[in-house]
Structure 1
């Protein structure tokens, strides 16, 4: 169906503006960490926020107040978990993965590449991005917790 009613369109605009504004305010209040590079946990929270916002916008049976409360709960949980992970190494190890060494002293670590599902071509692309052409001058390549590859020259 292409068009249902003007009332439905008006609801999407009004609720969308209010929910989006509330989400922006909550994200700003929760700090820069909420909007930083994402690890797996942050990605899950971001997807959940998007899904919740879409549900609030498109599902007439979800009142704006409940939707904003759901958004606030997700932002608070993300804040609380990152707060706890900064203060407890044990908690942090539950939430975040460790960086993985993929290249050491100019040699590929094939088992680590397989375990992390990274190809040599992806490592080569990271080398080119950092201005290097081969492994000879590379001390290491590390797969970071956010999925980026860090190239460390000798």
Structure 2
């Protein structure tokens, strides 16, 4: 088969196989990314690119590779829900960056977050006064959570690194 025709045929079929594998593997595969999800996504993209450009790799090999990556992700996420050690290995802990209007300088430095990023997150939530912010948390996917009002308990902050020091 001519290399360009191979790319067209294998590309279309590989793309369809990838869509099917992603749909079957569930929402977790397409959720907000942590480092583990990022690696999985890059691996799937690399497999697709190889399938499209290499005449040495068959459609069956590409489909098998897609399935292997999806199964590995399923196995690891399945295990991480049941094992705290595996969870810690693949997912970082959310980190407290601002608490009761006060910046957590050590955490900001460790996470390489500057004050301007925290202020931008606060403004994005429609808030104007840092003193009225109860907490800003750097989530495991790199997003900022801004909590404006304190409740009776800090239950939503459970597991956030740095809270116990406050």
- For Structure 1 versus Structure 2, the TM-score category normalised by the shorter chain is over 0.9
Name the SS for the 1:52 alignment partner: helix
Q: Which runs of 5+ in 2 are unaligned?
A: 150-166
Is 1:149 aligned with 2:140?
A: no
Q: Residue 18 of structure 1 is aligned with which of 13, 18, 37?
A: 13
RMSD after superposition? 1.2
**Deviation readout 1:60-112 (Å, 9 max, x if unpaired):** 11111111111111111111111111122222111110000000110111110
- C-alpha separation in 1, matches of 2:39 and 2:109: 24
Q: Please report how far the alpha carbon of residue 7 of structure 1 lies from its aligned counterpart in structure 2 after TM superposition.
A: 2.3
Displacement after TM superposition at 1:134 (Å) = 2.5
Separation in structure 1 between the aligned mates of residue 40 and residue 61 of structure 2, nearest angstrom: 18
Match of 1:59 in 2: 54
Q: Where has structure 1 moved over 3 Å in runs of 4 or more?
A: none
Q: Superposition pairs for residues 17-96 of structure 1, below 5 Å?
A: 17-96=12-91
Larger relative helix fraction: 1
Structure 1 gaps, min length 5:
1-5
What count of residue pairs does the alignment treat as equivalent?
A: 149
TM-score, length-scaled by structure 1: 0.93
